[in-house]
Amino acid sequence: MTELLRLQPTESEKDKTSEDRYSTWMYMVTETETDPYFDFINNFLDILEPKFADLEKLGVTRDKILFWKLYEYDQQCGMEFHPQEMVRLGQNGIHLNIDCWTNSTEESTTA
């Protein structure tokens, strides 16, 4: 996966100790309130779309791909997605999961 996508996966604490650590490949981008907007749906699809055939050869079918937005907020949790992004996700059969929670610090971050 790493060679194919030309990206270093994000390692989690679970990956270091789990016997099935090679069953999940994760790439994470973290942004803060002061960072410029990161269009995660289009950026990630730009990475994946040219590689779908090669991913399937590795046993990674589109139904196994999940985009996960983790959002920590202070006052209000609001998100907006452009219809073209949603269409693009749907046409590719990619699932989107969003988790939101209230931050516990002064500075809010999203992943």
Long-range pairs of 58-64 with CB within 8 A, sequence gap ≥ 24? 58/1, 58/4, 60/1, 62/92, 62/93, 62/94, 63/93, 63/95
Half-sphere exposure of 65 (CA within 13 A, CB side): 22
d(CA 81, CA 54): 29
**C-alpha closest to that of 23 among 64, 52, 74:** 64
The tens digit of pLDDT for each residue in 44-86 reads: 999 999 999 999 999 999 999 999 888 888 888 888 899 999 9
**Residue 18 — pLDDT band, cuts 50, 70, 90?**
low
Q: What is the pLDDT of residue 61?
A: 93
Q: What is the pTM of this model?
A: 0.73
Q: What is the pLDDT of residue 41?
A: 93
pLDDT at residue 30 greater than cutoff 50: yes
Q: What is the pLDDT of residue 108?
A: 45
